[in-house]
Structure 1
Amino acid sequence: MELSIARAGARLGGRWVVDGVDATPPPGALTGLLGPNGAGKTTLLRLVAGLLEPHAGAVLVSDPAASDPRPAVPVHTLPRRERARQVALLEQASDAAVPLSVREVVALGRTPYRSVWGTDPDPGAVDRALEAATAAHLADRAWATLSGGERQRVHVARALAQEPALLLLDEPTNHLDVSAQLALLGFVRRLGVTTVAALHDLNLAAAYCEHVLVLSAGRLVAAGPPAEVLTPALVHDVYGVAAHVLTHPVTGRPVIAYGPAEDG
Structure 2
Amino acid sequence: MELTIAGVGARLGGRWVVDGVDATPPPGCLTGLLGPNGAGKTTLLRLVAGLLEPAAGAVLVSDPGALDPGPTVPVHTMARQVRARHVALLEQSSDAAVPLSVREVVALGRIPYRTLWGTDTDAGAVDRALAAASATHLAERPWATLSGGERQRVHIARALAQEPSLLLLDEPTNHLDVSAQLALLGFVRGLGVTTVAALHDLNLAAAYCEHVLVLSEGRLAAAGSPADVLTPALVRDVYGVDAHVLTHPTTGRPVIAYSPPGAADS
- TM-score of the alignment, normalized to the shorter chain, above 0.5: yes
Could you say which residue in structure 2 is the equivalent of 1:259?
259
Query: Which runs of 5 or more structure 1 residues have no equivalent in the other structure?
Result: none
Could you say which residue in structure 2 is the equivalent of 1:235?
235
**For the residues of structure 2 that align with 1:221 and 1:256, how far apart are their CA atoms?**
18
Could you tell me which amino acid in structure 2 is paired with residue 19 of structure 1?
Answer: D
Could you say which residue in structure 2 is the equivalent of 1:23?
23
Can you list the C-alpha shifts for 1:116-163, whole angstroms capped at 9, x where unaligned? 222222222112211222222221122222232222111111111111
Can you list the C-alpha shifts for 1:179-223, whole angstroms capped at 9, x where unaligned? 221121112111111110001111110011110000011110000
CA contact (8 A) 1:166 1:194 kept: yes
**For the residues of structure 2 that align with 1:46 and 1:174, how far apart are their CA atoms?**
18
Could you say which residue in structure 2 is the equivalent of 1:150?
150
Matched ranges for 1:106-145 at <5 A:
106-145=106-145
CA contact (8 A) 1:8 1:55 kept: yes
CA contact (8 A) 1:5 1:21 kept: yes
Could you say which residue in structure 2 is the equivalent of 1:77?
77
Q: Does 1:88 align with 2:98?
A: no
Matched ranges for 1:202-221 at <5 A:
202-221=202-221
Deviates more, 1:48-57 or 1:125-134: 125-134
Deviates more, 1:108-117 or 1:160-169: 108-117
Q: What's the TM-score once normalised by structure 2's chain length?
A: 0.95
Q: SS where residue 17 of structure 2 aligns? A: strand
**For the residues of structure 2 that align with 1:221 and 1:263, how far apart are their CA atoms?**
26
CA contact (8 A) 2:7 2:58 kept: yes
Deviates more, 1:122-131 or 1:245-254: 122-131
**For the residues of structure 2 that align with 1:261 and 1:146, how far apart are their CA atoms?**
39
Could you tell me which amino acid in structure 2 is paired with residue 88 of structure 1?
Answer: A
Could you say which residue in structure 2 is the equivalent of 1:192?
192
Deviates more, 1:64-73 or 1:48-57: 64-73
Deviates more, 1:38-47 or 1:130-139: 130-139
Q: How far does residue 63 in structure 1 lie from its aligned partner after superposition?
A: 4.9
Deviates more, 1:217-226 or 1:60-69: 60-69
CA contact (8 A) 2:63 2:73 kept: no
Deviates more, 1:43-52 or 1:119-128: 119-128
Query: Which runs of 5 or more structure 2 residues have no equivalent in the other structure?
Result: none
Matched ranges for 1:34-53 at <5 A:
34-53=34-53
Q: SS where residue 129 of structure 1 aligns? A: helix
Q: What's the TM-score once normalised by structure 1's chain length?
A: 0.95
**For the residues of structure 2 that align with 1:113 and 1:227, how far apart are their CA atoms?**
41
Aligned residues: 264
Identity between Structure 1 and Structure 2 (%)? 85
**For the residues of structure 2 that align with 1:99 and 1:180, how far apart are their CA atoms?**
25
**For the residues of structure 2 that align with 1:255 and 1:219, how far apart are their CA atoms?**
25
**For the residues of structure 2 that align with 1:43 and 1:213, how far apart are their CA atoms?**
14
**For the residues of structure 2 that align with 1:176 and 1:161, how far apart are their CA atoms?**
23
Q: How far does residue 27 in structure 1 lie from its aligned partner after superposition?
A: 0.9
